[in-house]
Amino acid sequence: MSQVREVGIERLDGPHRGAARDRVVVEAPLQLRARDTPVATIMRTPGHDLELVRGLLHAESVTAGALVQADDDAVEIDVDAAAFAA
């Protein structure tokens, strides 16, 4: 999935306005699941999801086993869901 896409915009240039195209960053939700239990949904620019989740877990001091990209919009974490409650 591309990290940018083109969209139609209305460009203002002083008193003039007109249709134009511009590039914007794509964001999409990523669901984190601990043993099939959804524990969080974060917004991210798609790509490098496993690295993002590893960094998030490290920052939250959550020790996890394997990380698996379950699908394009979810990562499965081998950790007890209760670890996210603290």
**Complete DSSP assignment for the chain:** --SEEEEEEEEEETTEEEEEEEEEE--EEEEEEETTEEEEEEEE-SS-HHHHHHHHHHHTT-----EEEEETTEEEE-S-GGGGT-
Q: How confident is the model at residue 34 (pLDDT cuts 50, 70, 90)?
A: confident
- The dotted CATH code for 4-84 is 3.10.20
Q: Where are the domains of the chain?
A: 4-84
pLDDT at 69: 80
pLDDT tens-digit readout, 52-78? 998 988 888 887 777 888 788 899 888
* Mean pLDDT for the stretch of residues 6-29: 94
